[in-house]
Amino acid sequence: MIKVYLPELGENITKATVSYWYFEEGMSVVEGNDLVEMTTDKATFNVPAPCSGAIVEIMAHEGDVVEVGSVLATIEEETGGNSPAEGEGV
């Protein structure tokens, strides 16, 4: 199971709001797909899928404010594919 984390976005940015999920639980994603849009004060940031597979669970829902490093979702990695290390992807 691969965890999708909110990455470091920059100096003084410690949290962001989940503004839009491009996918729902159970849907298949391809590595690099924009997975979820996070919003800080004046920026939106699309967190890409770190691997190809199916979204098992969405932990942070639209409107939730989450801290950098939090787990946003988990993905069941597609077997047979190459994937980057857990949580990588940005």
Partner 1 sequence: MYLKPKCHVVDLGMIEYQKSLDLQKKIVKKVIDGEVSDTLITCQHPHVITLSRLAKKENILVSCEELKKLGVGICWTDRGGDVTYHGPGQIVLYPIFNLKEDKKDLHIFLRNLEEVVIRALRNNFGLNAYRKSGLTGVWVGPYKVASIGIGVSHWVTYHGLSLNVRTDKKFYNLIKPCGLPDVKIASINDFFDDDVSLETVRLMLLKSIQDIFECHLN
* Residues in touch with partner 1 (CB under 8 A): 8-13, 17, 19-20, 32, 34, 37, 39-46, 48, 90
CA distance 86 to 88: 6
Beta carbon nearer to partner 1, 49 or 73: 49
CB nearer partner 1, residue 28 or residue 33: 33
Residue 79 CB, shortest distance to partner 1, in Å, is 25
| C-alpha to C-alpha distance for 15 and 55, rounded to whole angstroms | 23
Tokens 């190809």 belong to residue: 52
